Amino acid sequence: GAVVSQHPSWVICKSGTSVKIECRSLDFQATTMFWYRQFPKQSLMLMATSNEGSKATYEQGVEKDKFLINHASLTLSTLTVTSAHPEDSSFYICSARPSPGTDTQYFGPGTRLTVL
Amino acid sequence: KQEVTQIPAALSVPEGENLVLNCSFTDSAIYNLQWFRQDPGKGLTSLLLIQSSQREQTSGRLNASLDKSSGRSTLYIAASQPGDSATYLCATSGSRLTFGEGTQLTVNP
């Protein structure tokens, strides 16, 4: 149980285009989902926290207009990288927390974004 | 602001060796500490979670300890195998998960 999927697993796009990444909790409902970014040989950096039905909370330095997050249901959150540029190339990982008041997060397999 | 540091950054050992990975954190006000495994290009696999009230957790050949007062945790891997080769991340849980930069482990046959 407690499986989180991400789609796509990898994507290559041209500079200036927008890319949407989906994060789904397959066998549980997630009141909170998290989006992380990981550059090569670096650790995961939290980008934003999204709660179902409300606006996402972005970490300092993360542009909310560039990284659009939607958490419209208890099993799906999406991250849209708008007007992507090569510096946005990274590994994006989501996680899902089953219920408030718990610390457990289940992580997705990640999405490799390459912007040419 | 919590800062998590992992030492060493990389480690290469022969198969069968016992090894210790270190994690230190600056703010001892944590809910728990987790150790994760990450294979190249993949997501995270949770290995062990130690609650703030606990001193250690064990799972198979893995043993993790936590010393909140000194801001340290160690992950002990017994009888290492080539399949243990991966990056190991520790993360503290407070208002959010804060990750260290990981230790890249290579176990040579």
Per residue in B35-77, pLDDT tens? 999 998 888 999 999 999 999 999 999 999 999 999 999 999 9
Q: Report the chain A residue with the minimal C-alpha distance to residue B36.
A: A107
Q: Where are the beta strands (DSSP E) in B60-96?
A: 62-67, 72-77, 86-93
- A56 confidence band (pLDDT: 50, 70, 90): very high
Average pLDDT over residues A32-61: 91
Average pLDDT over residues A16-45: 92
The answer to whether the CB atoms of B99 and A43 lie below 8 A apart is: yes
Beta carbons of A71 and A109 less than 8 angstroms apart: no
- State the pLDDT at residue A53: 82
Residue B31 has what DSSP assignment?
Answer: S
- A1 confidence band (pLDDT: 50, 70, 90): low
Residue A91, pLDDT > 80, answer yes
Q: What is the DSSP string of A42-99?
A: S-EEEEEEEETTSPPEEPTT--TTTEEEEEEETTEEEEEE-S--GGG-EEEEEEEESS
- State the pLDDT at residue B87: 96
The answer to whether the CB atoms of A108 and B43 lie below 8 A apart is: yes
- State the pLDDT at residue A88: 96
Two tokens at A54? 């409300």
The answer to whether the CB atoms of A93 and B31 lie below 8 A apart is: no
Share above pLDDT 70 across residues of chain A, in percent, rounded to a whole number: 97
Beta carbons of B66 and B55 less than 8 angstroms apart: yes
Q: What's chain A's average pLDDT? A: 92
Average pLDDT over residues A36-44: 89
The answer to whether the CB atoms of A44 and B89 lie below 8 A apart is: yes
Share above pLDDT 90 across residues of chain B, in percent, rounded to a whole number: 85
Residue B18, pLDDT > 70, answer yes
Two tokens at B16? 């069968």
Residue A80, pLDDT > 90, answer yes
Q: What's chain B's average pLDDT? A: 94
Name which of A42, A103, A108 is nearest B93 (Cβ-Cβ).
Answer: A103
Average pLDDT over residues B94-106: 91
Contacts of B89 in chain A (CB under 8 A): 43-44
**A107 shares contact with chain B (CB less than 8 Å):** yes
CA separation, residue A72 to residues A23, A24, A54, A80, A85 (Å): 11, 11, 8, 14, 26
Question: Which of the residue ranges A30-34, A80-84, B77-81, B85-89 would you say has the lowest mean pLDDT?
Answer: A30-34
Question: Which of the residue ranges A41-55, A78-92, B47-61 would you say has the lowest mean pLDDT?
Answer: A41-55
- A101 confidence band (pLDDT: 50, 70, 90): low
Rounded distance, CA A93 to CA A37, Å?
A: 6
- B104 confidence band (pLDDT: 50, 70, 90): very high
